[in-house]
Amino acid sequence: MAETDDIFRPIIVDGVVVRDKTFLERLGKVLKLQWLSDKSLEMRKSLLDSIIPSLACRAVENNDFISLRVLLKKGDASCETYDEFTPLHTACELGNLEMILFLLTRGASPRHMNRFGNCPMYMAIKNRHCHAVKLLRLKGVTVSLQTVRIAMEMIQAVQNRDYPVLRAWFLSGVDMDAKDYNERTVMHEAVCLRDKSMISRLLGYGATPLERDVWGQTAMDIAQNDATMMALFEPIFTTRCPTKQAYLLYKAEHSHI
């Protein structure tokens, strides 16, 4: 659909996109494939399967529930484009809560990976749509990515001081002590950068300075010569919980932490 074609431009009424009669008639002709009446049934189905995903993702972009409902009658809610994007990927990328709920109720798979290895939840996290992340988690959706990649993404967020994306990762329910290829965590990175504000934020998200990297060092080991940073870890990590196991037990017994 060409963006310059006025017929395909959305008409917005009270925040919801509707379509005029001309558009719906044209959409109906496409779905019925009357323009391919002389072709085989197999070819018709193949072309329909190719067209539906792109139209569905475009409908999501336009917040066009009317067209999307029509399209999903002819295709699966988890239909995918050439790049294996699904309508749910698009809805999560945009942070459109109503679209996300609609697609989930229609059976869209929240675990589907696109060609770039990204799941819908990741699209919401990467675009800092915290409300969408909370909604997905409420619906039982998790991040379908390898732990190492999650750690690398979060470490990069620490390096960039990207607080919104870190919050989105936290809200997704991932382990904030996830490790990269060198078994380093976000806390290792924050301590190495001597970023006390980041350290405080990560502690609030449940990250600890107790995990060891491949060189056997914890974030607290690295912070030993900095009294200000060490003060951030006291007294929980210096006296009460010298190990990760002790911290988890302490946290279970004190749910307010």
Q: Which two tokens stand for residue 139?
A: 């619906």
Question: CA-CA distance, 255 to 74, in Å (whole number)?
Answer: 49
The pTM for the full model equals: 0.81
Which stretch of DSSP H or E encloses residue 12? strand 11-13
Helix, strand, coil percent values for the chain (each to nearest 5) = 55, 0, 40
Which pLDDT score, from 0 to 100, does residue 249 have? 85
Highest mean pLDDT among 37-46, 70-79, 221-230: 221-230
Domains of the chain, start order? 146-257 (1.25.40.20)
Tens of pLDDT, residue by residue over 66-98, are 889 988 887 789 998 989 999 999 999 999 999
* 66 or 18, greater pLDDT: 66
Q: Which two tokens stand for residue 48?
A: 């329909």
